[in-house]
Amino acid sequence: MSVVSVERRLDVLVACEYSGVVRDAFIRKGHNAVSCDLLPTDFFGPHIQGDVLQVLDRRWDLIIGHPPCQYLCRQASRWIDTPVKRILFKQACAFFLKLWNADCECVCLENPVPHLAAKKEIGDYSQIIQPWQFGHDYSKKTCLWLRGLDFLEPTEIVQLTYVTTKNGRRYTRGWYETPRNTKARSRTFPGIADAMADRWG
């Protein structure tokens, strides 16, 4: 008896993504992927511009989310120092948990390393990955919270290169050469997106 494997097209929601990088990696693998963000998409493709919470309860096979990290990451802990910022922190945790608790069997949320108070609220991550494990000359600890999904395996280890400035400061080249704006720095690395599509698609 021969075994016929049938590949199934997955319905993938990429939450909080304007770049379309993860969406397009899944589309290249033949899946139905749609990104959703309050912002328009950078590249033409299936995109819902609006609040992702409004589309969470559609039937998705896989949800990959990049919720805002402004109040959750380690660097933020230093300046959550007013009652208003504490409320914003609580709201960021609640948003993260709504994505995490979506009615979907497979969920991956991605964020930088959280500070202790955030970790207490949103729970511990499953895995830490680095762009240099996926073909990029860039160091940035990236945490994945995984439900119903395997760990990502490194696909291409890159030796980091460095830049020394005139005043003697040393930076990793990838970080130094990336424009200093939030949008450029929050875009998902294509090597990581391809690894997600290979592994989970």
Ligand X SMILES: C[S@@+](CC[C@H](N)C(=O)[O-])C[C@H]1O[C@@H](n2cnc3c(N)ncnc32)[C@H](O)[C@@H]1O
Binding site for ligand X (CB under 6 A): 16-19, 21, 36-39, 51-53, 66, 68-69, 186-188
**Least distance from C-beta 114 to ligand X, angstroms?**
13
81: CB partners within 8 A, 6+ apart: none
**Least distance from C-beta 166 to ligand X, angstroms?**
32
Q: Decide whether 19 or 172 has the Cβ nearer to ligand X.
A: 19
Q: Decide whether 163 or 184 has the Cβ nearer to ligand X.
A: 184
**Least distance from C-beta 112 to ligand X, angstroms?**
9
Residues 128-160: b if buried by 16+ CB within 10 A, e if exposed = ebbbbbbbbbbebebbbbbeebeebeeeeebee
**Least distance from C-beta 21 to ligand X, angstroms?**
5
Q: Decide whether 40 or 83 has the Cβ nearer to ligand X.
A: 40
